[in-house]
A and B are shown apart, each in its own frame.
Chain A
Amino acid sequence: MQSAAAAFAWEFGWPRRWIPVAIGVYLVAHGLLKPLLLGSGATVDLGDGYIAFALVPFSFTFMYFIAVFSFGLNGDLAARQSIFPSRLFTLPVSSAELARWPMVYGLAAMSMLWVIARIAAWWPLALDLPIVWPGMMMAVVLAWTQVFMWMPYGFRGLRVALAVTVLIALDTLVILAINYKTSEAALVAFLAPQLPLAYFCACLVVARARRGVVPDWHMFSRARRDEAATSLSPFRSMAAAQVWFEWRRNGRSLPVLVALVLPFELFMLFVGGFGSAGFVFEVLIAVLFTPIAMAGFTAATVSKANPFARDPYGVTPFTATKPITSVALIAAKLKMAMWSTFAAWVLILLFIPIGFSWSGADAVLIEWWRSFVDQVGMPRAVVAAVLVLGGLMLGTWMMLVQSLFVGLAGREWLIKTSGFAGLVFLMVIGPIFESIVESTAALRWLWNYWGLFPAILVVLKVTAAIVIARRLSRSGLIGDRAIVAGAASWAASVFVLYGVFVWWADTSLLPRYLFLLIAILAVPLVRISAAPLALDWNRHR
């Protein structure tokens, strides 16, 4: 290895030598599955479920490249210090060269990804995609992410806030340009100059980071902090201390992300040409689902140990040696997730009236609400709104905590297998749904036996719950009384929800047992109950 360029190529390429193999397998699978699922010669449009098969791995690889080439996997994203690996600062090369090679190889990787996506779109999807600008957009997003990641900041968390804001602004501009049918040449003219500009900025920030410059903008808050340092009151209990610990570690990420994304979503209401009722509802749905989507991003950190610990999957000795039960540790995480969800939804419920009334889009919603009330009556309309809102809040909370039982198990193989299974599920669910919708025989079969699916899921859920309850009891993590009390509370919640469903949709078209099955599936049980077992398995290896 004779040059810095070769050394960087080896550092980025060698650990990921499986990627070209995976791409080859994916393209072959693509070529084989498309005729099987859609029939040979069939064309694909953006409404096809099959498109998920193409988009999911493509999006995942894009995000992975962003993380790898910005060194985003290496440390604490919220830290003030540059995330550029300090071990590279001692290499006998200029700062410009340190910035250059990750950017050059990142640009090459993104270009390669776009070329492959273009090939996959042309064959076998037969999609006509733009030639240059999407690839360039990907490279620009990576280049600016690299700058934001490598820059030292004066405040903790500013990196994430700035990166999310600028990248969303960039995305919004491009979405608007597409909406206004801007030509590819104009988009290229907008994006291309950003690459050398980002490189110039990257050279500056790497040079600053290499000199150890970390700005300190805390002068205004220092006096308050010193005052706080002398006036900390003790925690009421160890449970309260643990909830505080979890909140400070992970609780604020979700509301901050929601606060960053929300203004851009609501901004769309003010843009001319988007005045239709359909678009207003699209924005409303996007806003309502923002906490769930953002919770998906922050969920991984909830179950992660200290990134600087020797074993990134294990429980750190600092936490593992505290005289507190694994159940109490999980309870603190669940409570933190509850507060985090609450904070995120306060923002949503605060911003929706402001955004919609200022833009004048509230008239569309009020009109729709009146017509809904006319159809179902005020009590049912209010209960439906409460159910939807409660469901979305529960969904946000579940998104934060549902993978605890995987992440806290601390086994790399389990975490990676689970991630891969999730990816495969996202890839295949679209084509499966598509093939069912387009098959009359499949639809007829479903019409006759559709009640079977929730019934099977209920059997699986209840069986898993019984197995987990027995293991919890045997392990002594939770006393038998607490297990019985928990089961009784769960059953009561199910029956209340069932009662509400039956009252709301009092119809002979749907059998009542179906409402019961839905209520059983809706109230969380298995994944939450499995979390203490997973943590205990990790804590006492």
Chain B
Amino acid sequence: MAEPVISIANLSRRFGEKIALNSVDLAMPRGAVYGLVGANGAGKTTLIKHILGLLQAESGSVRIFGLDPVAEPVSVLSRIGYLSEENDLPGWMRVDELIRYSRAFYKNWDDAYAEELRQRFALDPAAKIKTLSKGQKSRAGLLIALAYRPELLVLDEPSSGLDPIVRRDILGAVMRTIADEGRTVLFSSHLLDEVEQVADHVTMIRQGSIVMSAPLDDIKASHSGRSLDEIFVSLVGAPNT
């Protein structure tokens, strides 16, 4: 059996008194789209930050491509594309400068693909990042996360930044293409209809604990074909915020 792209065992993390992650176990094999769902503050971003090596495991272990992302950040990060929820692209850069700067870090950067994405996302190369709308900034972030065809694409709440048209017409198609090429997508969201449309596998998280992790079809089958929204409410017991 192929080694999982993401392998997390017994991961726990506290911030002061608050338990952010509680004995999380997760294994994500290659070549699928994984939806990480949970209410705001459930621990989705904390889990993603552990995957990226931005947080160190207090207990348990995190392995990405079989490597520790904290001990070997360069080897891990060069294979991950990441779209941050924070929209922290440097405002002083122009779009073309952002592309030029980002391409220096990735051997597999594909200029033609980057240009194709830029045109598809309708980004003016001479525009400063700070003059872009929130949606355009997210598109720019997505461009630099995709242009080197990463083995693992991690999207933290892409729905909060991208406008509905990009989400529906572009993001879904991009995720499917990546999965079809044998690469992996992990995206977090609290919009369950969106997760239902594109994810092959769903992991639900509540108060730092994984309450369910299974293929979407299995989840639906075991819950008599109910929608993901209804299943989420029945499992998590709280409204989807």
* A333 CA to B65 CA, complexed, in Å: 31
Nearest B residue to A80, CB-CB? B130
A540 touches B105 (CB 8 A): no
Q: C-beta contact mask, A218-250 vs B, less than 8 Å → 1, else 0?
A: 000000011001101011011011001100110
* A442 CA to B55 CA, complexed, in Å: 52
> Is B113 an interface residue when CB atoms closer than 8 A count as contact?
no
Interface centre among A76, A237, A323, A325, by most B CB within 10 Å?
Answer: A323
> Is B84 an interface residue when CB atoms closer than 8 A count as contact?
yes
A540 touches B101 (CB 8 A): no
* A240 CA to B103 CA, complexed, in Å: 12
Residues of B within 8 A of A317 (CB): 52, 54, 82, 84, 86, 88
Task: Kindly identify which residue among B74, B90, B97, B103 contacts A318, using a CB–CB cutoff of 8 Å.
Answer: B90
Interface centre among A76, A318, A324, by most B CB within 10 Å?
Answer: A318
Residues of B within 8 A of A244 (CB): 101
Residues of A within 8 A of B90 (CB): 245, 249, 306, 318
B56 touches A540 (CB 8 A): yes
B54 touches A323 (CB 8 A): no
Interface centre among A229, A306, A321, by most B CB within 10 Å?
Answer: A321
Task: Kindly identify which residue among A229, A235, A323, A541 contacts B77, using a CB–CB cutoff of 8 Å.
Answer: A323
Nearest B residue to A315, CB-CB? B54
> Is B70 an interface residue when CB atoms closer than 8 A count as contact?
yes
* A249 CA to B126 CA, complexed, in Å: 18
A249 touches B82 (CB 8 A): no
B74 touches A325 (CB 8 A): yes
> Is B66 an interface residue when CB atoms closer than 8 A count as contact?
no
Least distance between A224 CB and chain B CB atoms (Å): 11
A235 touches B54 (CB 8 A): no
Q: C-beta contact mask, A493-515 vs B, less than 8 Å → 1, else 0?
A: 00000000000000000000000
B106 touches A323 (CB 8 A): yes
Nearest A residue to B89, CB-CB? A318
* A117 CA to B238 CA, complexed, in Å: 58
A321 touches B126 (CB 8 A): no
B91 touches A308 (CB 8 A): yes
Task: Kindly identify which residue among B75, B92, B126 contacts A226, using a CB–CB cutoff of 8 Å.
Answer: B126
Residues of B within 8 A of A235 (CB): 100-101, 103-104
Least distance between B72 CB and chain A CB atoms (Å): 9
Q: Interface of chain B, helix or strand or loop or mixed?
A: loop
B125 touches A310 (CB 8 A): no
B71 touches A476 (CB 8 A): yes
* A442 CA to B71 CA, complexed, in Å: 52
* A226 CA to B71 CA, complexed, in Å: 42
B73 touches A323 (CB 8 A): yes
Least distance between B33 CB and chain A CB atoms (Å): 20
A316 touches B86 (CB 8 A): yes
Nearest A residue to B15, CB-CB? A541
Given contacts A238-B104, A322-B105, A539-B54, are A309 and B88 in contact (CB under 8 A)? yes
Residues of A within 8 A of B105 (CB): 238, 241, 322-324
> Is B78 an interface residue when CB atoms closer than 8 A count as contact?
yes
* A306 CA to B130 CA, complexed, in Å: 12
Residues of B within 8 A of A234 (CB): 100, 103-104
> Is B96 an interface residue when CB atoms closer than 8 A count as contact?
yes
Q: C-beta contact mask, B142-171 vs A, less than 8 Å → 1, else 0?
A: 000000000000000000000000000000
Nearest A residue to B98, CB-CB? A318
Least distance between B61 CB and chain A CB atoms (Å): 14
Residues of A within 8 A of B84 (CB): 317-318, 321
A318 touches B54 (CB 8 A): no
Interface centre among B73, B82, B96, B106, by most A CB within 10 Å?
Answer: B73
Given contacts A229-B126, A540-B73, A541-B56, are A241 and B101 in contact (CB under 8 A)? yes
> Is A109 an interface residue when CB atoms closer than 8 A count as contact?
no
A248 touches B88 (CB 8 A): no
A323 touches B104 (CB 8 A): no
Write 22 A-B pairs (CB below 8 A) sorted by A numbering: A225-B94, A225-B126, A230-B125, A232-B97, A235-B100, A241-B104, A241-B105, A249-B90, A308-B91, A309-B86, A309-B88, A316-B86, A316-B88, A318-B84, A318-B90, A323-B78, A324-B74, A539-B73, A540-B53, A540-B55, A540-B70, A540-B73
Q: Which residues of A contact B (CB under 8 A)?
A: 76, 79, 156, 225-226, 229-230, 232, 234-235, 237-238, 240-241, 244-245, 248-249, 306, 308-310, 316-318, 320-325, 476, 539-541
Closest 10 CB pairs of A and B: A241-B104, A323-B78, A323-B77, A235-B104, A229-B126, A317-B84, A316-B88, A540-B70, A229-B125, A232-B100
